[in-house]
Structure 1
Amino acid sequence: MKAFICHHVDLKASVYATRLVSSLVLLQTPSLPSARPQNQSNFFTDPYQFLNESTKSQSYTFQETKIMHAHVLKTKSLHSSIELSNFLLRGYCKASGFDYALKVFDTMPQPDISSWNLVITSQNQSSRYADSWGNFCRMHSLGFYPNEFTYGNAISACIALNFVNGGKLLYSLALKHGFSLDGYVRSGMIDLFLKCYSFNDALRVFSDESCGNVVCWNAIISGAIKHNKDYVGLNLFQQMCRGSPLPNRFTFPSVFGACAKLQELELGRGVHGLVVKYGEEDDLVVGTAIVDFYAKCGQVDEAINKFSQMPVRNVVSWTAVIAGFVQKGEFKSALRLFKEMIILNQEINNYTVTSVLSACANPLLFRESFQIHCWIYKTGFYWDPTIKNSLINLYSKLGAIELSEQVFKDMKDGMNTSTYSTMVTAFCQDGKLKKAFSLLKKMFLEGLTPDLSCIPSLLSIINLLELGEQIHCYTLKTGGLFNHLVGCSLFTMYSKCGCLNESYELFKQMPDKDHVSWASMISGFTEHGYAYHATELFREMLFAIDVIVDETTLTAVLAACSSLRFLKAGKEIHGFFSKREDNTYVYGGSSLVNMYSRCGDLKSANRVFDMMPCKDQLSCSSLISGYAQNGYIKESLHLFVDLISSGLEVDSFTISSVLGAVGDLNNSDVGKGIRIGIQLHAHIQKLGFESTASVGSSLVMMYSKYGNLDSCLKVFNQIIKPDLISWTAMINCYAQHGKGLEALKMFEHMKKSGTEPDSVTFVGVLTACSHSGLVKEGYSYLKSMVKDYRIEPGKRHYACMVDVIARSGSLKEAERFIRNMPIEPDSLVWGTLLAACKVHGDMEIGKIAAEKFIELNPSEDGGYVSLSNICADVGQWEQVLKIRNEMKDTGVVKEPGWSYI
């Protein structure tokens, strides 16, 4: 600066300066301010005076800066003043001449902290973040002490580079030199940690000292909400409102977003009140956030009210209201508002269009879907991948998968991962597993990686363990296993395929389990015969943190109680949920009716049923089934008649329950049961349910109970796609009526159809073998269970096999078979052998079988009676008398026989 003060301009320099002023004036455009030549003239006549005229903040074009730079170089005054060099640096930075700024900096003999700040800033502005960080390190190594601007710029470079360790080093230096509380430094560090997904570190920086900088508060609140720490963000907002600084228009949008996500309606209304209090209601961004909040909370009327009061509306506010209508199910209102946007020539973006397409996912709006599709094509939105994906999804939901495929094929060269994944999901929703996997293979061949969004859809329709394991391997390889939805779908898939251990291991490995995950695992245990484990898991769930116990969980755990007939536990769970809800609403009514019905407490089931404001099919079916299973056949039928009379739709489950009740009438009134069954069959044909597997199976079992095999076969042949239950019912029908060969033929047809048998099917097959005396075939089927289908035989299977062997007269072989069984034989197995001994009059083996039967079942009269009859048949009356006395001593009383006649 001294050099600048002492510098005298000679005559030559003055003349030269005059020439430059003239050339500068010629270069200026008419748009330049009139003051510009005056300032530039001052620069050339007296640079010191020029720098003190507050023109350093003025912007110059790149060409003007170069002219001034040229003058300084000609006069050799560049190195005489650091202020002059910094002025040129600043000029080049403002004119985006970053390369020239660096050249000026490199020629500076002794740059100061302002020079370093300017060059670091210029490198940040030109996206040379690594060079910016390098210059900071170089500056620090040369002994310069950074100021708040230096730290701020260096932190900006670290943010761009995701260089967390560098940011931590900077913050350490800032702490050491007393700049850590500066708002620029602090907000930069918070931003760095948030962008690098280190929310806890960001919160630690914010909490080091009390902060009065609104930028820091806004950064940490917004960061908490973006990192799904919504309650933390709202808590910070409440703290902000109690102190200083007060929230501003940049604070409120994030807070409204958190309130919408958490459905905190009352809290959001309170924030709305603060917006009015602080006078920010007319701000476009804040107003749009308010509209979006009310819409997402289902308060569409309030959203429209706020929307109508907005002085200026943008595409976001219009889209928020349309999305609110869609969420509430008012699809026609959404379409009307969209039509109004078109008429008013409002801006429409792809979010608006996708919201409208969501509204069209209703069979009643199929015509409107085509119209909007045409508008999309006409306006050019059709080629947007997001819109294409929405159209594919729309037609899939409408059941027009062919149209989804057509939209997909129209993509041609514009195929991307998202579109492929959407089409895979559409195939899955339509149940087309083969097409879904074919498309997935095509993706891999083209080098595309599927979105995680389509993996849960794939897993939901996979019923082959091998395919499921392949998807599992893929998720492990790509890291998708840590995705919550993928993890939940994987363990559900394993549960569905009968691999409960693998399912539970995956469940335990999930880092964050929500209520859906818990409910899915509880259901998995129940469905595979581990209902007790399901109740234990529910108890564990109650102690978990941040888990919502909702109706989904209630349904799952009550199903477990129903399976175990745990009436007491079911009542406790009912009480637990009743305390959480308003007394005017029966929470989980259908599940409770089902639980009470299956546990035999029909009085409680009826009471819950009467309290339900809306009776549904499930609750009616559960009560009908409960009455039937507990012997109240007439009540069951009366309730079914009431169901039809009330106008409620009858589903296949309800009809199956009624058919089961009619089948049980054979113990009391065979003729009446047959008449009712025929009437029901006629009603089923009228409704069109006779071709469904569940109703068809129930009809087969009903006619089987009445011995009408011709009707059984006729009904079975009407089923379009017989499932495992249908095939098993028909096999058991033949087996129980002595048609063993027909049963085995039906079993072979079943295998050819691709339906795999289960343990119940094999009970029917082995029963057919016993009724037809097919010993060799019986052994073959028993081995096939383990070898071909990995089904471990149970006691019922072994009892059937004993019957197969013993009926053929090979009683000793049957006894050896029992003693060589891998499981401990029970009373059913020994009782089967005992019955065969009575038929064949084998006293010796019969006595052994009777003793074993009595030992396992001492209170049962069957063993004593059978042994007594065997002795009577061979004339051992003394032994008969001895057995009768034993029965009298042990208190066993023979039940009297009865007959229909």
Structure 2
Amino acid sequence: MKSLLNPKISLSTLKSISSLAAVKNPSFFPIENPEIPSLFDPFQFLNDYTKSTHCSITNTRILHAHFLRIDLLPSNVAIANSLLGCYCRSGSMADALHLFDVIPERNVISWNLMVSGYNRSSMFENSWGVFCRMHCSGFEPDEFTYGSVLSACTALQASSLGEQVYSLATKNGFFSSDYVRSGMIDLFAKSGSFEDALRVFHDVSCWNVVIWNGVISGAVRNGENGVALDLFRQMCCGFLLPNSFTFSSVLTACAALGEIGIGREVQGWVIKRGAEDVFVGTAIVDLYSKCGKMNEAVKEFSRMPTRNVVSWTAIISGFVGKDDSISGLKFFREMRRMGEEINKFTITSVLTACAKPSMSEEAIQIHSLILKSGLYSAAEVGSALINAYSKIGAVDVSEMVFREIRTLKDLGTWAAMISSFAQNQNPESAIGVFQRMLQESVRPDKFSTSSVLSIIDYLGVGRQIHSYTLKVGLAFDASVGSSLSTMYSKCDSLEESYKAFQQIRDKDNVSWASMIAGFLEHGFADQALQLYREMPCKEIIPDQMTLAAILTACSASRSLLIGKEIHGHALRAGVGRDVVVGGAIVNMYSKCSALELARKVFDMLPQKDEVACSSLVSGYAQNGCIEEALLLFHHMLMADLTIDSFTISSILGVIAPLNNPSIGTQMHAHITKIGLNSDVSVGSSLVRMYSKCGSIEDCQKSFDQIENPDLICWTAMIASYAQHGKGAEALRGYELLKEEGIKPDSVTFVAVLYACSHNGLVDEAYFYLNSMATDYGIRPGYRHYACMVDVLGRSGRLKEAERFIINMPIEPSGLIWGTLLAACVIHRDVELGKLTAKKIMDLEPCDASTYVSLSNMCADLGLWEEAEQIRDQMRGNRTRKEPGWSLV
């Protein structure tokens, strides 16, 4: 009994201990006779002992032995319950159960102690077992029993059992008990049935702050942050004062919604009430961090008198979310210097900061720290490691981490590995990991399935995975359904893409935006616009991503009126000046040639990014506004904005008609400086620019710098050779294109036939024209036939050219007859020229060039009367020749 002596125990307790030690005869305590005074009050002693620091298993067993010796337990259930509580508090549930089983007259308190004791020791199945035993024994549970067993059901995630308990409690008259209702609200909230939790909350008017806190925190847990704020307003209107727990939940909801204004109001109330503790302080730091107000977050963090690991993690995560990895790592280093213990959430945030190619060394150091700290076994840490190495580009290290993680049954780890392969464009390995999941009986979740679908570009494999998603019911999920729709669209199966979209039950904005983008990619802008009109009928409010997608549809279809309507909608929704939406609006107006409106929107954007600048530069370039395009490009350079290939290509397109090699050379130097000289689109633009400037050697040099030239690059180079009279080189380029396994298109054949026409290669021209249809299934168009007529005309085979036109499978156009007329002028064939001119006049009576060409031909041959007649006819038709002009 020596270990029980403690100066902190009261004088009465010390006397009790002394009396207990001196007891020899159990009859010393005449408990049945209240008139006889007792030197030792066992109930008071147990009450003081339970509250003291000496309540341990060993000391409780000593007390138990003494009470047995004096035969006190059988006659006093209150003393037995107190001793039972001591066992439960010290965590010895085996001893508690032994004592419970020998109590002769158990009451409801005895049962409650056992249920709550098992809960305290996290032995929730035993809690449920005791409750069942109590119910079968005929004992009537009270509100505390129901509250405790509902907590056990919550921990066991047994919502069905909890509902049965709640039904029994309601039946027995505990419908309005705060303990029962708070337990049921917590159960529903943690099992994902927040609507049921809200129903229980509204069943009875409540003035208990604990219940309000439970339903507000439940709303936050289930992502119903708007509901949480509404509940908080109702709570305050009901004159119920919130506490620190309420404030931390509400601040978390504000952070999730980005409601910085409401968050500041709540913070003001916290300061006024003096309710700021470490949890509320952490929630305030998290609020400012998630809203991107890092200066204020740091200020609040520095004011916190006490910080915990959650506080440090919140400030680190805030910097990581702002893509400020350096500041995040500085705080992490300071956290380590202060000796603060790190957890898996801290590590995952730091690993996200290190997920950059420039921070590979830091990632390796954090990896070593993880091994040293023993956090390697946490599945979240393993997934973050895999993701970090993937972003760095070290996929082999990601695979090594994946193999070393023991918890391979964790879905997050599998999903991270599949995502790693997908990000690094390795579809075979991603599909292999997916197959291995199925082989090891790990059921892929929506994240794994969406990741593997994002990398698939083979229709057969995509359909197999689609079949699996239908089998397990994932095809109806919004993220999986969107990935399926995108996969089919990428595989050029738009019909199946739309079917997958229709199968999604609860379509979100991502689903709608993906399908709209799918229609756009396949040239169905009208269908994309129609889909957008259906969104309000489904009660879907378009977000920034959807608005940007539909504005792109307006750009593609040149639908200026609809684009203005969507611009108005964006302004009403408060996202008109959003970076993404604003850039899409500028692009829409630029593509629709409404450059004044494009410039107005551009000037009003608070933050001008590369997309908005590039769109306006392109708009100016396409509409011949050379000076404006160059000035805006200069502004981008001065603002140190990232210059992408799209902008460079637009500027090169502006420079090319100027026929100024010096400007082109300067641009080429800048392109080389920023490392875009090997880009496919930029390389193609350089080839075209040098071609128009007459430098075929520079064309070839620019082409040689391109890594993996595509069809457009090859076509540009072939056309450049053709324009400069190098027919042999052009045809050699065409043969090299085929050797690379690239399939030519109709534009390529125009360049090839153009090369034949400028070099008099008639037989070759016939060969390539026939090859279009027979080898590649391309139907020749007007430009191809015009090139063929030009080949024959330049070679003096005018009659053959006429027969060729007459036998064409399509109706000849003015372009084709005009090509023959030009040949007639060159070879001075007046008769055929007259017939050809008549054909053109019938098709295009107002075309002045026909009259002029025929008149000039007659004049060259000395047929002045006929030349004058043609001029009179031209004047009679009120056809006027446009005057020529020159830049020189």
SS at match of 1:274: helix
Count how many residue pairs are aligned between Structure 1 and Structure 2.
838
Residue identity matched to 2:184: M
The structure-2 alpha-carbon separation of the partners of 1:548 and 1:301, relative to structure 1 and needing over 3 Å to count, comes to: farther
Structure 2 distance, partners of 1:243, 1:197, is 27
User: What is aligned with 1:148?
Assistant: 143
User: What is aligned with 1:348?
Assistant: 342
User: What is aligned with 2:588?
Assistant: 595
Alignment of 1:399-478 (within 5 A): 399=392, 401=394, 404-405=397-398, 408=401, 411=404, 418-419=412-413, 421-433=415-427, 436=430, 453=447, 459-460=453-454, 462-466=456-460, 468-469=462-463, 472-473=466-467, 475-476=469-470
Which range is displaced more, 715-724 or 108-117? 108-117
| Aligned equivalent of 2:773, options 779, 782, 787 | 782
User: What is aligned with 2:235?
Assistant: 240
User: What is aligned with 1:286?
Assistant: 280
Structure 2 distance, partners of 1:585, 1:448, is 42
The structure-2 alpha-carbon separation of the partners of 1:767 and 1:393, relative to structure 1 and needing over 3 Å to count, comes to: same
Which range is displaced more, 350-359 or 434-443? 434-443
User: What is aligned with 1:224?
Assistant: 219
1:539 shift after superposition: 3.9
Work out whether 1:723 is the aligned partner of 2:710: yes
Work out whether 1:694 is the aligned partner of 2:685: no
| Aligned equivalent of 2:167, options 159, 167, 172 | 172
1:199 shift after superposition: 1.0
1:270 shift after superposition: 1.8
1:603 shift after superposition: 3.3
Structure 1 distance, partners of 2:287, 2:245, is 16
The structure-2 alpha-carbon separation of the partners of 1:386 and 1:110, relative to structure 1 and needing over 3 Å to count, comes to: closer
1:266 shift after superposition: 1.7
The structure-2 alpha-carbon separation of the partners of 1:426 and 1:503, relative to structure 1 and needing over 3 Å to count, comes to: same
Q: 1:337-380 CA distances to partner (integer Å, 9 max, x unpaired)?
A: 33333333333334334434444456776666666666666666
Alignment of 1:333-732 (within 5 A): 333-360=327-354, 386-387=380-381, 389-397=383-391, 399=392, 401=394, 404-405=397-398, 408=401, 411=404, 418-419=412-413, 421-433=415-427, 436=430, 453=447, 459-460=453-454, 462-466=456-460, 468-469=462-463, 472-473=466-467, 475-476=469-470, 481=475, 484-541=478-535, 545=539, 547=541, 549-550=543-544, 552-578=545-571, 590-609=583-602, 617-633=610-626, 636=629, 650-664=643-657, 672=659, 677=664, 680-681=667-668, 684-685=671-672, 688-703=675-690, 712-730=699-717
Residue identity matched to 2:646: F
User: What is aligned with 1:303?
Assistant: 297
Structure 2 distance, partners of 1:727, 1:94, is 81
8 A contact 1:763–1:796 mirrored in 2: no
8 A contact 1:151–1:185 mirrored in 2: yes
8 A contact 2:228–2:250 mirrored in 1: yes
Structure 2 distance, partners of 1:277, 1:754, is 74
Structure 1 distance, partners of 2:89, 2:459, is 64
Structure 2 distance, partners of 1:509, 1:673, is 57
Residue identity matched to 2:194: F
Which range is displaced more, 89-98 or 200-209? 89-98
1:424 shift after superposition: 4.5
1:203 shift after superposition: 0.7
1:224 shift after superposition: 0.7
8 A contact 1:391–1:407 mirrored in 2: no
1:190 shift after superposition: 1.2
The structure-2 alpha-carbon separation of the partners of 1:427 and 1:151, relative to structure 1 and needing over 3 Å to count, comes to: closer
Which range is displaced more, 294-303 or 467-476? 467-476
The structure-2 alpha-carbon separation of the partners of 1:319 and 1:215, relative to structure 1 and needing over 3 Å to count, comes to: same
Structure 1: any 5+ residue segments left out of the alignment?
1-24, 666-671, 787-791, 819-824, 873-879
User: What is aligned with 1:270?
Assistant: 265
Alignment of 1:740-759 (within 5 A): 746=733, 749-750=736-737, 752-753=739-740, 755=742
The structure-2 alpha-carbon separation of the partners of 1:767 and 1:416, relative to structure 1 and needing over 3 Å to count, comes to: farther
Structure 1 distance, partners of 2:274, 2:662, is 78
1:536 shift after superposition: 3.4
Alignment of 1:11-160 (within 5 A): 34=14, 35-36=16-17, 38=19, 45-46=29-30, 48=32, 54=43, 63-64=61-62, 67=65, 145-160=140-155
User: What is aligned with 2:862?
Assistant: none
8 A contact 2:789–2:801 mirrored in 1: no
SS at match of 1:597: helix
8 A contact 1:487–1:506 mirrored in 2: yes
Q: 1:405-434 CA distances to partner (integer Å, 9 max, x unpaired)?
A: 597389476777555644554444444555
The structure-2 alpha-carbon separation of the partners of 1:892 and 1:316, relative to structure 1 and needing over 3 Å to count, comes to: same
1:236 shift after superposition: 0.8
Which range is displaced more, 580-589 or 535-544? 580-589
8 A contact 1:171–1:189 mirrored in 2: yes
Q: 1:484-507 CA distances to partner (integer Å, 9 max, x unpaired)?
A: 554444433433443333334434
The structure-2 alpha-carbon separation of the partners of 1:174 and 1:610, relative to structure 1 and needing over 3 Å to count, comes to: closer
Q: 1:112-155 CA distances to partner (integer Å, 9 max, x unpaired)?
A: 65566566666767777667657656765776544323433443
Structure 2 distance, partners of 1:362, 1:862, is 63
The structure-2 alpha-carbon separation of the partners of 1:288 and 1:680, relative to structure 1 and needing over 3 Å to count, comes to: closer
8 A contact 2:278–2:307 mirrored in 1: yes
Residue identity matched to 1:719: I
8 A contact 1:562–1:598 mirrored in 2: yes
Structure 2 distance, partners of 1:90, 1:642, is 77
Structure 2 distance, partners of 1:571, 1:812, is 51
Q: 1:239-287 CA distances to partner (integer Å, 9 max, x unpaired)?
A: 1122254222322221111111111112112222232333322x22222
User: What is aligned with 2:205?
Assistant: 210
SS at match of 1:212: coil
Alignment of 1:795-874 (within 5 A): 818=809
Residue identity matched to 1:199: F
The structure-2 alpha-carbon separation of the partners of 1:136 and 1:316, relative to structure 1 and needing over 3 Å to count, comes to: closer
User: What is aligned with 1:822?
Assistant: none
Structure 1 distance, partners of 2:607, 2:182, is 55
SS at match of 1:179: coil
User: What is aligned with 1:186?
Assistant: 181
The structure-2 alpha-carbon separation of the partners of 1:151 and 1:364, relative to structure 1 and needing over 3 Å to count, comes to: closer
Q: 1:530-550 CA distances to partner (integer Å, 9 max, x unpaired)?
A: 222333344444666574633
Work out whether 1:260 is the aligned partner of 2:255: yes
Work out whether 1:319 is the aligned partner of 2:310: no
8 A contact 1:90–1:118 mirrored in 2: yes
1:796 shift after superposition: 6.6
Structure 2 distance, partners of 1:481, 1:695, is 40
Work out whether 1:250 is the aligned partner of 2:245: yes
8 A contact 1:775–1:804 mirrored in 2: no
Structure 1 distance, partners of 2:395, 2:91, is 54
Which range is displaced more, 434-443 or 595-604? 434-443
